[in-house]
Amino acid sequence: MSAHITIAITGGRALSPSLELLASIGIAPTEEISKSRKLVFDTSQKNLKLMVLRGMDVATYVEHGIADLGMSGKDVLLEHGGNGYYEPLDLGIVRCQIVVAGLKDEGELPPRPKIATKFVNIAKRYYAAKGVQVDIIKLYGAMELAPVTGLAHRIVDIVETGNTLKANGLVSLELIEEISTRLIVNKISFKTRHSVVQPLIDKLEAATA
């Protein structure tokens, strides 16, 4: 096992608040991540490295022990459904919602509506729990176009302000889950490196209190 601890964080809009939170407990990359093409960075803590990944990959790297800890959106964890990690802490950053949305003036829905989403597992579980049969159409982006063009009746998607929905004539209809960034910890790392991992959890918990 390597001597250093690796924390996987998400790039994109989650990067800045994640780095701010880590900086508040004395962990900072030794170079500016946004200006580098590297994916692994040394930090101000000698034996601690940061790994910058796509959101969907953080849980995978932590589950397989490549990263000891990760900072990942709850949406990703719900969709990923892994069991190789613990989720000890809600970091309270990058807050948003997963919702069901549809056209403001949608007509009566058919008995088996079509739902467009990139969150296939979340959507399936949600509708199964409601006892509603739906057809899921997987999309990777431009979700709001699906009801507008008739590809789907409704969408399941992440909403932060609701402005994109509104601009495309859609409204939020049902709340599925409140989302924020969570700390996850590889189960083996938590046991075998507890003396290092637990203090990090404690510091992050204090910083988010």
pLDDT, tens digit, 9 for 90 and up, residues 184-195 = 999 999 999 999
Side chain identity, residue 65: G
119, 156 in Cβ contact below 8 A? yes
Beta bridge partners of 99: 157, 175
Q: Where are the domains of the chain?
A: 5-94+180-208, 96-179
Average pLDDT over residues 178-204: 96
Residue 34 banded pLDDT, cuts 50, 70, 90: confident
Q: Which residue has the tokens 């003036």?
A: 105
52-88 as b/e, with b when 16 or more CB fall inside 10 Å?
Answer: bbebebbbbbbbebebbbbbbbbbbbbbbeeeebbeb
Mean pLDDT (the chain) is 94
CATH superfamily membership of 5-94+180-208: Periplasmic binding protein-like II (3.40.190.10)
What 8-state DSSP symbol labels residue 152? -
Tell me how crowded residue 128 is: count the other CB atoms within 10 A of its CB: 11
Which pTM does this prediction carry? 0.88
Instruction: Report how far residue 83's alpha carbon sits from residue 105's, in angstroms, rounded to the nearest whole number.
Output: 41
What's the token pair of residue 1?
């096992």
- Tell me the pLDDT tens digit for each residue of 116-139: 999 999 999 999 999 999 999 999
- Region at 69 (left for phi over 0; alpha for psi -120 to 50; beta for the rest): beta
SS3 19: helix
SS3 183: strand
According to DSSP H, which parts of the chain are helical? 15-23, 55-63, 74-80, 120-130, 145-149, 163-167, 187-192, 194-208
Instruction: Report how far residue 35's alpha carbon sits from residue 151's, in angstroms, rounded to the nearest whole number.
Output: 39
pLDDT for residue 181 is more than 70: yes
CATH hierarchy code of domain 96-179:
3.40.190.10
Instruction: Report how far residue 198's alpha carbon sits from residue 137's, in angstroms, rounded to the nearest whole number.
Output: 41
